Amino acid sequence: MPAAEVAAVRATLDAIFADGGVRTDTCHWLTRAGHRRLIRWTFTPLLGAEASVAYVVAVGDIADDVARQAAASAGAERMKQVHALVATLAAADTLEQVAQTVLEQGCAALGGSAGTLMLCSSDGMSLEAAGAVGYPAGSVETVLPVAMPVPLATAVRLGEAVLLPSAEE
Protein backbone atom coordinates (compact mmCIF):
# COMPACT_ATOMS: atom_id res chain seq x y z
CA MET A 1 0.00 0.00 0.00
CA PRO A 2 1.36 3.45 -0.80
CA ALA A 3 2.57 5.21 2.34
CA ALA A 4 0.20 8.14 1.81
CA GLU A 5 -2.84 5.84 2.18
CA VAL A 6 -1.75 3.80 5.22
CA ALA A 7 -3.19 6.23 7.79
CA ALA A 8 -6.66 6.25 6.17
CA VAL A 9 -6.86 2.45 6.01
CA ARG A 10 -5.57 2.19 9.57
CA ALA A 11 -8.39 4.54 10.66
CA THR A 12 -10.96 2.32 8.88
CA LEU A 13 -9.63 -0.78 10.64
CA ASP A 14 -9.57 0.99 14.01
CA ALA A 15 -13.22 1.99 13.52
CA ILE A 16 -14.14 -1.64 12.80
CA PHE A 17 -12.42 -2.81 15.98
CA ALA A 18 -14.09 -0.02 17.98
CA ASP A 19 -17.71 -0.70 16.99
CA GLY A 20 -17.73 -4.03 15.11
CA GLY A 21 -19.40 -2.49 12.05
CA VAL A 22 -18.87 -3.26 8.37
CA ARG A 23 -16.89 -0.64 6.46
CA THR A 24 -16.00 0.06 2.84
CA ASP A 25 -12.94 1.91 1.67
CA THR A 26 -11.12 2.50 -1.59
CA CYS A 27 -7.36 2.56 -1.68
CA HIS A 28 -4.41 1.63 -3.84
CA TRP A 29 -2.28 -1.46 -3.47
CA LEU A 30 1.06 -1.91 -5.11
CA THR A 31 1.48 -4.91 -7.40
CA ARG A 32 4.64 -6.99 -7.40
CA ALA A 33 5.69 -5.05 -10.50
CA GLY A 34 5.28 -1.78 -8.57
CA HIS A 35 2.09 -0.61 -10.34
CA ARG A 36 -0.73 0.96 -8.34
CA ARG A 37 -4.03 -0.95 -8.38
CA LEU A 38 -7.20 0.79 -7.18
CA ILE A 39 -9.29 -1.58 -5.06
CA ARG A 40 -12.68 -1.01 -3.43
CA TRP A 41 -12.63 -3.00 -0.19
CA THR A 42 -15.47 -4.24 1.98
CA PHE A 43 -14.25 -5.03 5.48
CA THR A 44 -16.52 -7.37 7.47
CA PRO A 45 -15.67 -8.14 11.10
CA LEU A 46 -16.08 -11.64 12.49
CA LEU A 47 -16.87 -11.44 16.16
CA GLY A 48 -15.32 -13.73 18.72
CA ALA A 49 -15.64 -14.08 22.49
CA GLU A 50 -17.40 -11.23 24.29
CA ALA A 51 -18.57 -9.79 20.95
CA SER A 52 -15.13 -8.43 20.17
CA VAL A 53 -13.64 -8.44 16.70
CA ALA A 54 -11.65 -11.63 16.20
CA TYR A 55 -11.03 -11.37 12.46
CA VAL A 56 -11.67 -8.96 9.62
CA VAL A 57 -12.62 -10.40 6.24
CA ALA A 58 -11.54 -8.07 3.45
CA VAL A 59 -13.07 -8.53 -0.02
CA GLY A 60 -11.64 -6.41 -2.83
CA ASP A 61 -13.34 -5.26 -6.02
CA ILE A 62 -10.96 -4.30 -8.85
CA ALA A 63 -13.60 -3.74 -11.57
CA ASP A 64 -13.02 0.04 -11.69
CA ASP A 65 -9.28 -0.47 -11.94
CA VAL A 66 -9.64 -3.07 -14.69
CA ALA A 67 -11.95 -0.73 -16.65
CA ARG A 68 -9.48 2.15 -16.24
CA GLN A 69 -6.60 -0.02 -17.45
CA ALA A 70 -8.64 -1.25 -20.43
CA ALA A 71 -9.45 2.34 -21.40
CA ALA A 72 -5.79 3.32 -21.13
CA SER A 73 -4.76 0.33 -23.24
CA ALA A 74 -7.39 1.16 -25.87
CA GLY A 75 -6.13 4.75 -26.02
CA ALA A 76 -2.56 3.56 -26.40
CA GLU A 77 -3.61 1.17 -29.18
CA ARG A 78 -5.38 3.99 -31.05
CA MET A 79 -2.28 6.17 -30.79
CA LYS A 80 -0.15 3.30 -32.08
CA GLN A 81 -2.48 2.98 -35.08
CA VAL A 82 -2.29 6.73 -35.74
CA HIS A 83 1.53 6.63 -35.64
CA ALA A 84 1.58 3.64 -38.01
CA LEU A 85 -0.77 5.48 -40.39
CA VAL A 86 1.36 8.63 -40.37
CA ALA A 87 4.56 6.65 -40.97
CA THR A 88 2.98 4.75 -43.87
CA LEU A 89 1.50 7.91 -45.39
CA ALA A 90 4.90 9.58 -45.26
CA ALA A 91 6.20 6.86 -47.58
CA ALA A 92 3.26 7.09 -50.04
CA ASP A 93 4.10 8.73 -53.36
CA THR A 94 0.78 8.63 -55.21
CA LEU A 95 -2.87 9.31 -54.48
CA GLU A 96 -3.61 5.60 -55.00
CA GLN A 97 -1.02 4.65 -52.35
CA VAL A 98 -2.49 7.21 -49.92
CA ALA A 99 -6.01 5.90 -50.56
CA GLN A 100 -4.97 2.27 -50.12
CA THR A 101 -3.15 3.08 -46.87
CA VAL A 102 -6.02 5.09 -45.41
CA LEU A 103 -8.57 2.44 -46.35
CA GLU A 104 -6.60 -0.56 -45.08
CA GLN A 105 -5.65 1.05 -41.79
CA GLY A 106 -9.07 2.65 -41.36
CA CYS A 107 -10.79 -0.70 -41.81
CA ALA A 108 -8.34 -2.33 -39.38
CA ALA A 109 -8.84 0.40 -36.76
CA LEU A 110 -12.63 0.34 -37.05
CA GLY A 111 -12.98 -3.41 -37.48
CA GLY A 112 -14.47 -2.97 -40.95
CA SER A 113 -14.22 -5.38 -43.84
CA ALA A 114 -14.58 -2.93 -46.74
CA GLY A 115 -14.28 0.74 -47.54
CA THR A 116 -14.17 3.27 -50.34
CA LEU A 117 -12.33 6.58 -50.41
CA MET A 118 -14.09 9.13 -52.64
CA LEU A 119 -12.77 12.51 -53.74
CA CYS A 120 -14.96 15.39 -54.85
CA SER A 121 -14.38 16.25 -58.50
CA SER A 122 -12.94 19.62 -59.45
CA ASP A 123 -16.37 20.81 -60.69
CA GLY A 124 -18.06 19.65 -57.45
CA MET A 125 -20.67 17.63 -59.34
CA SER A 126 -19.41 14.10 -58.69
CA LEU A 127 -17.46 11.88 -56.35
CA GLU A 128 -14.59 9.90 -57.82
CA ALA A 129 -13.27 6.71 -56.23
CA ALA A 130 -9.64 7.10 -55.23
CA GLY A 131 -9.47 3.58 -53.86
CA ALA A 132 -11.44 0.69 -52.42
CA VAL A 133 -10.70 -2.37 -50.30
CA GLY A 134 -12.78 -5.42 -49.47
CA TYR A 135 -15.04 -5.33 -52.55
CA PRO A 136 -14.99 -7.79 -55.47
CA ALA A 137 -12.97 -6.48 -58.40
CA GLY A 138 -14.96 -4.12 -60.59
CA SER A 139 -17.92 -3.81 -58.21
CA VAL A 140 -17.15 -0.28 -56.98
CA GLU A 141 -18.45 2.55 -59.13
CA THR A 142 -15.59 4.86 -60.03
CA VAL A 143 -17.73 8.01 -60.41
CA LEU A 144 -20.93 8.90 -58.59
CA PRO A 145 -22.84 12.03 -59.59
CA VAL A 146 -23.60 14.30 -56.63
CA ALA A 147 -27.19 14.84 -57.82
CA MET A 148 -28.36 11.29 -58.53
CA PRO A 149 -31.63 11.04 -60.44
CA VAL A 150 -32.90 8.20 -58.23
CA PRO A 151 -36.37 8.69 -56.72
CA LEU A 152 -36.20 8.68 -52.93
CA ALA A 153 -38.52 5.67 -52.59
CA THR A 154 -36.31 3.66 -54.97
CA ALA A 155 -33.14 4.73 -53.18
CA VAL A 156 -34.57 3.67 -49.80
CA ARG A 157 -35.78 0.34 -51.18
CA LEU A 158 -32.44 -0.43 -52.86
CA GLY A 159 -30.29 1.10 -50.15
CA GLU A 160 -28.61 3.42 -52.65
CA ALA A 161 -27.08 6.71 -51.64
CA VAL A 162 -28.84 9.93 -52.60
CA LEU A 163 -26.24 12.66 -52.91
CA LEU A 164 -27.47 16.19 -53.54
CA PRO A 165 -25.51 19.41 -54.11
CA SER A 166 -27.21 21.27 -51.23
CA ALA A 167 -29.14 20.62 -48.05
CA GLU A 168 -32.18 22.39 -49.49
CA GLU A 169 -32.44 19.95 -52.38
Tell me the mean pLDDT in the region 58-63.
88
- What pLDDT digit, counting tens, does each position of 129-142 carry? 888 888 888 777 77
Residue with the bigger pLDDT between 39 and 167: it is: 39
Q: Residue 108: its pLDDT value, please?
A: 81
Q: Sign of dihedral through CA atoms 152, 154, 160, 164?
A: negative
CB-based contacts of 134, cutoff 8 Å, min separation 6: 107, 112, 113, 114, 115
Q: Residue 22: its pLDDT value, please?
A: 93
- pTM attached to this predicted model: 0.42
Q: Which domains does the chain have, with CATH numbers?
A: 3-61 (3.30.450.20), 73-141 (no CATH)
